[in-house]
Amino acid sequence: MALPVTMYRSTDAGAPVIISGKPSEYLTVLKKCLVDGYGEKLAAGWSVVDEVSAPPYLALSNSDANGVLMFSSPDDNAGTDVKVQSCLDYIDQQIQNRKGAYFVFDRSLSGNVKNTNWIVFATSSAFWIFAWGDNLANANKFQYYNVISFFAGNLESFHPNDPAKFITLCGKQNSNSVGEYNAISYLLSNNLNTPATQIYSLDDSNEFENAAITSLFGNESTNKDNVNGIAPIQMLVPMYLMMGDGSLKNSSKYSGSSKFPYVRGLVPGLFVADAAGHRDEPMPVFREFNGSTYYLIPSHSGTLCCWINAEEW
């Protein structure tokens, strides 16, 4: 059953503010959106599992409590990296089992390039977050800048009682270096054959495999040209999490597998259109399709055709 989505924005009344780009400021944004709420915005329905102020550490669980998302940083200085990682079994800050791939983000550069603008789309089971600097506001493109862009929470699994559907989706996995390639928007803009996550077995064991995002259009979700103006969209199709690199030609390892079936499930809220456009429009870009509002993920290279349903997943 689809869950209602709440959209949180840095422009909302009472929204938490990113000032210098300290790790605690970003953790406050996520906690306010997911756990506490702010102004007239109610929280999405997540809960705090663990929290430490110095050095900054925050562990959150969704309403299903089938996984934990951890944020950690060595200090709270402006610009220090924040490490993000999920796990299925959380004991305490030092001990977790069945951990997911990790990645890092930070405030980006100094001055007007800091990631001070943010938007979060969240349900009680999953969320998307995007953050960018003032210098990018005049067009719907992240380009080569180091932005914040990732998904965390429950996959919409096709397999009943999936014990490992709590995941993250990012760009470059298992990396402690910061760059535009860490963003899920970068991966969607460039190479869907690159794994977007690692996911654990359906038998509840410690085995895991890489998985990639694909759709009816295959391993492409970007027009390679810079396309401006209104996109002449005829259809939006959902995007799937597939094992390996997502391609059918490399799927034999997963055919008939009871542990890692080739098609694991849908990526919540994520769709790809059959046409590109809007690259020259100020972000954020929204459009109505079939009575629902969708958000266009900004491009890195080319013109990204991926949209997020801003109302329900």
219-235 confidence digits (pLDDT tens): 889 999 999 999 999 99
pLDDT at 306 > cutoff 80: yes
pLDDT value of position 247: 87
How large a percentage of the chain has pLDDT more than 90?
A: 91
Alpha helices, H only, 131-245: 184-190
C-alpha–C-alpha distance, residues 10 and 98, integer Å: 34
Percent above pLDDT 70 for the chain: 100
* Amino acid identity for residue 296 in this structure: L
pLDDT digit string (tens) for 277-298?
999 999 999 999 999 999 999 9
Instruction: For residue 181, give the 3-state DSSP assignment.
Output: helix
Q: What is the C-alpha to C-alpha distance for residues 153 and 126, in angstroms, rounded to an integer?
A: 4
pTM over 0.75: yes
Cα separation, 71 vs 168, in Å, equals: 12
Tell me the chain's radius of gyration from C-alpha atoms.
18
Contact 223, 303 (CB under 8 A): yes
Residue 219 carries which side chain, given as an amino acid letter? N
pLDDT band at 1 (very low <50, low <70, confident <90, very high): confident
> Residue 15: is its pLDDT beyond 80?
yes
* pLDDT (mean) for 85-109: 96
- Mean pLDDT across the stretch 201-206? 97
In whole numbers, what is the pLDDT of the chain averaged over residues? 96
pLDDT at 75 over 90: yes
Whether residue 119 contacts residue 295, with contact meaning beta carbons closer than 8 Å, is answered with yes
What pLDDT is recorded for position 45? 98
Number of H helices, E strands in the chain: 2, 20
- The pLDDT tens digits of the residues spanning 31-57 come to 999 999 999 999 999 999 999 999 999
Q: In the structure, what pLDDT confidence band is assigned to residue 185 with cuts at 50, 70 and 90?
A: very high
Query: How far apart, in Å, are the Cα atoms of 137 and each of 90, 184, 190, 280?
Result: 38, 19, 21, 10
Read off the pLDDT band of 240 (50, 70, 90): very high
* pLDDT > 90? residue 268: yes
Q: Assess whether pLDDT exceeds 90 at residue 16.
A: yes
229 contacts: CB under 8 Å, gap ≥ 6 = 277, 278, 280
Lowest mean pLDDT among 120-124, 129-133, 236-240, 245-249: 245-249
pLDDT given for residue 109 in this prediction: 82
CB atoms within 10 A of CB 181: 19
